[in-house]
Chain A
Amino acid sequence: MSDRWRSLLEKICIPIGALVAALVLFGLFCALAGANPFGVYYSIYRAAFGSWSSFQNTLIQASPLMLSALCTALPARLGLVIIGNEGALVLGGLAAVAGGLTLGGWGLPTPGVQLGMALAGMLAGGIWIAIVGALRHYRAVNETISSLLMNYIAIALLNHMVNGPMKDPSSLNKPSTYPIPEMHMLGNLPGSRVHYGLVLGLVACGLAYFLIQRTTFGFAARTAGGNIRAARVAGLPVGKLTLAICFLGGACAGLAGMVEVAAVHGRANESLNANYGYGGVLVAFIARHNPIAASLVALLLGGILASGGILQRSHGLPDATVMVFQGLVFLSVLYSDSLYGRLPIFKARPARPASPPMATATPV
């Protein structure tokens, strides 16, 4: 019991410590840039969480990150480092537009069109990342590199479709697809300006957690992630697991693209490529690939992004400041990874001398 608590506490304290360290470093940076660090901290807090209105801004920024983070977090449980979120998101958006226009053209009612868009987006994103998984499993291609490169392909594909086959001829100076009719757009949550993407993000994070921690599928995936040879020996279908979990991860990012299209842009164009994918990678790593933690971290990062404006407008800091902050957070969290199991305070203590044989048997 005590060890379990200690390890849980370690998992909570180390990331928080890393965040505090990043805040201190960022404070130094602000001081060097001529701003009062405490004023900056206060502004960040106020702009991100200070009032309902500013918190909505945070939620708006966070919702695409939740979905996109799962594209890294899910495959990570199988030991794969996938950073193809941006590509899956972009293609998901593109497929959602194609689906929405087709189904809308058939005269389907709004819920049908929206469902179709979501499925199209998930399918496109899922297949995209499943390709990465297949390359990994069948051809032993490094999944990090291939998923990164597939981002460029996806973005090029988006540009091609938007400039060519799917172009709305009236979108002269900003080539875009035909717009989704207003009535088929995703609305906002009642009493707010936050769209339904937030709900989808939270639900997806919850489902992902359940899938990984509470089902045999998740257990099999974690086993394969822990030791792939052992998993094979135990008769687990590692290939199928890889493809399935990559598909699910990609489907989440594809859904994020669908939400961007259906709730924000109303059409696909180059604005879809807005770095939500890379933001999602950041979220997944900080959350240590835990889907529930990812939703919280997405809120935190959303808050950081939401405060970017106030740093410029109230403190006269350069526009890259928020990127510096994000970079410091990322670096210190990655570094803190090396502290697990190193801090004496969190080390498992040997059991009481009353039962010496137990000491060696204590699971860590």
Chain B
Amino acid sequence: MRNPTFQVTRRQAIRGLLATGAFGLTVKLSGCSTSPTAAGGSDTLTAGFVYVGPKDDYGYNQAHAEGRASLDAIEGVKTSEEASVPETNAVQETMRSMIDIDGATAIFATSFGYFDPHVLALAKDFPEVQFFHCGGMYQEGVHPENVGSYFGYIDEAQYVAGVVAAHASNSKRLGFIAAKPIPQVLRNVNSFTLGARSIDPSITTQVIFTGDWADPVREAEAANSMADQGIDVLTCHVDSPKVVIETAERRGIFATGYHANQAELAPQGYLTGAEWDWSNVYKNYVSLMQEGKTLMNGGIPHLVRGGFKDGFLKLSPFGPAVSASAQQAAEAAQAQLVSGELVIYKGEIKDNKGKTVIAGGKELGQTAVELEQMNWLAEGVMGSVG
């Protein structure tokens, strides 16, 4: 009996053959075009960088990517980088692949949420690879030997930005668009406000929490509503300040930046910005590693933190709207922060409900544990944490 399906299966077979043939051809053709990516000799240091968002976000990730790019000029260092890696086990796979395929012996995991459980899991699997995590979460005795943390006290730069903002503001009302009411963010809001109020104690800062690290729609809404209220200097702590800075420029008000330099987004109204100086930090790490020092042999400290003095921060170049007196005041504040004369959290400081949070005469230096647990907004900040 003739099977009518036979025709079809033959066709299927031919298609299958054609498909596999074409596939084989592609593999052959492309085999020569891919360059081997294996690690170089033992004197080459390969470092892998992982970012949680795009490299050109004018913000957090761009700051890290610029830091990475500064390593290109260094002899004997190879880097590999991957952007927009979510904080799921995808990041474990990325780090693993950087180690296995690119031959990375140092990994810089730049997002806060990469640490637990992802970096910790990989550190266990690759005890000979060094993992540096941006966020300062390392705890002696709790976390593996080959894990290190680095972070900057960027609220110092926010303090100086507040000084500049105070000079630029006519309405004496500043706006701060923040992601989440967590200690790190609150510290920036408070330092910015304290900086501004060191110039004029009548200044207030309105704070709006968007609830998300990246929510361009709500950031734009917040910026517009602040402009409508008569606020005339905006700043922010979100992953990408792009929308906030652009909106400020469009509304004809001033802005100070965050994470990276956003001057090109607001040529008129950009005053200055609190920037990370990761190139400096990464170069330091690399030169230590090139000297043969590692986290495991104790040559590299497990916890590296710092402010202006230690080269973790910088200010964006002053914009055209910054007066000479504002520049002087900012430079003076920066110099005092470097020398240690100026302590931002120096009592008496009240929160915005009138309660004294730092008693008179008490000084909390940058390393103070109390500041890591900040859950209050300083006097002069309009908004609430809850």
A42 near B112 with CB under 8 A, answer no
Nearest CB of B to A153, in Å:
13
Whether A312 contacts B54 by the Cβ 8 Å rule is no
Chain B, Cβ-Cβ closest to A276:
B88
In the complex formed, the residue of A with least CB distance to B183 is A172
> Which residues of B have CB within 8 Å of A6?
8
Stretch at the interface among A113-121, A261-269, A284-292: A261-269
Asked if residues A38 and B33 are in contact (CB atoms below 8 Å), the reply is yes
Chain A residues touching B, range: 35 or more
- A43→B34 contact, CB < 8 A: yes
- How far does the alpha carbon of A13 sit from the alpha carbon of B16 in the complex, in Å? 11
* Cα of A2 to Cα of B9 in the assembled complex, Å: 11
Residue from B35, B100, B102, B373 within 8 A of A53 (CB atoms): B100
Find out whether the CB atom of B27 lies under 8 angstroms from the CB atom of A172: no
Closest to B51 in A: A319
Q: How far is the CA of A319 from the CA of B90 in the complex (A)?
A: 14
Q: Which residues of chain A are within 8 angstroms of B283 by Cβ–Cβ distance?
A: none
Q: Does A207 contact B (CB under 8 A)?
A: no
A41 touches B80 (CB 8 A): no
Inter-chain contact A172/B30, CB cutoff 8 Å: no
A227 interface residue per 8 A CB criterion: no
A139 to B373 CA separation, bound complex (whole angstroms): 48
How many whole Å from A151's CB to the nearest CB in chain B? 14
Cβ proximity bits B61-102 to A, threshold 8 Å, 1 near / 0 not: 000000000000000000011111111111001101110111
Whole-angstrom distance from the CB of A22 to the nearest CB of chain B? 15
Contact A271 B113 (CB under 8 A): yes
Is there a chain B Cβ closer than 8 Å to A102's Cβ?
no
A94 to chain B, nearest CB (A): 16
Q: Which residue of A lies closest to B151 (CB)?
A: A173
Q: Is A215 an interface residue (CB 8 A)?
A: no
* Nearest CB of chain B from residue A20's CB, rounded to whole Å: 8
Interface centre among B86, B90, B180, B181 (most CB of A within 10 A): B90
17 intermolecular pairs with C-beta atoms under 8 Å apart: A9-B8, A13-B15, A39-B34, A42-B26, A57-B97, A60-B89, A175-B180, A271-B86, A271-B87, A271-B88, A271-B113, A274-B88, A274-B90, A305-B90, A310-B101, A312-B82, A319-B55
- Is A174's CB under 8 angstroms from B98's CB? no
- Closest chain-A Cβ to B77's Cβ sits at a distance in Å of 16
A1-25, CB under 8 A of B: which get 1 and which 0?
1100110010001000000000000
> Which one of A2, A276, A313 lies within 8 Å of B80 (CB-CB)?
A313
Q: Does B184 contact A (CB under 8 A)?
A: yes
Decide yes or no whether A260 CB sits under 8 A from chain B: yes
Bound together, the chains give a CA A310 to CA B29 distance in angstroms of: 19
Pair B90/A61 contact, Cβ less than 8 Å = yes
Q: Does B31 contact A (CB under 8 A)?
A: yes
Q: Which of B30, B89, B97, B117 contacts A309 (CB 8 A)?
A: B97
CA distance A246 to B101 in the complex (A): 43
B211 interface contact, C-beta 8 A: yes
Binding site for A on B (CB under 8 A): 4-5, 8, 12, 15, 26-27, 29-31, 33-35, 37, 54-55, 80-90, 93-94, 96-98, 100-102, 112-113, 117, 135, 180-184, 211, 372-373
Q: In the complex, A320→B54 CA distance in Å?
A: 8
Select one of B15, B30, B37, B96 contacting A313, CB under 8 A: B37
Question: Does A159 interact with chain B (Cβ within 8 Å)?
Answer: yes
Minimum distance in angstroms from A358 CB to a CB of chain B: 14
Does chain B have a CB within 8 A of A213? no
Contacting residues of chain A (7-63) with chain B, CB-CB under 8 angstroms:
9, 13, 36, 38-39, 41-43, 45, 47, 53-54, 57, 60-61
Contact yes or no, B183 A274, CB < 8 A: no
CB pair A172–B98 under 8 Å, yes or no, is no
Min C-beta distance of A51 to chain B, whole Å: 10
Instruction: Report the separation of the CA atoms of residues A320 and B89 in the bound assembly, to the nearest whole angstrom.
Output: 19
What DSSP secondary structure best describes chain A's contact surface? Answer: helix
Give the distance in Å from the alpha carbon of A320 to the alpha carbon of B113 in the complex.
Answer: 21
Residues of chain A lying within 8 A (CB to CB) of residue B15: 13
Shortest beta-carbon distance from A124 to chain B in Å: 20
Contacts of B373 in A (CB 8 A): 172
Q: Are A42 and B30 in contact (CB under 8 A)?
A: yes
B31 close to A173 (CB less than 8 A) = no
Q: Which of B88, B98, B183 has the most CB of A within 10 A?
A: B88
User: Does A362 lie at the interface of the complex (its beta carbon under 8 Å from any beta carbon of B)?
Assistant: no
Known contacts A42-B30, A57-B93, A172-B373: does B8 contact A2 (CB below 8 Å)? yes
Q: Complex: how many Å from CA A101 to CA B37?
A: 45
Are A312 and B81 in touch, CB under 8 angstroms? Answer: yes
The answer to whether A39 touches B117, judged by C-beta atoms less than 8 angstroms apart, is no
Tell me, yes or no, whether A67 is within 8 Å of chain B by CB. Answer: no
Is A301 on the interface with B (CB-CB < 8 A)? no
A36 surroundings in chain B (CB, below 8 A): 30, 33
Asked if B93 contacts A60 (CB within 8 A), the reply is yes
- Complex CA distance for A245 and B211, rounded to whole angstroms: 34
Q: What residues on B are CB-neighbors of A45 within 8 Å?
A: 27
> Which residue on A lies nearest to B7, using beta carbons?
A2
A315 vs B55: C-alpha distance in the bound complex, in angstroms? Answer: 16
Q: Which residues of B contact A43 (CB under 8 A)?
A: 34
In the complex, chain B residues whose CB is within 8 Å of the CB of A54? 97
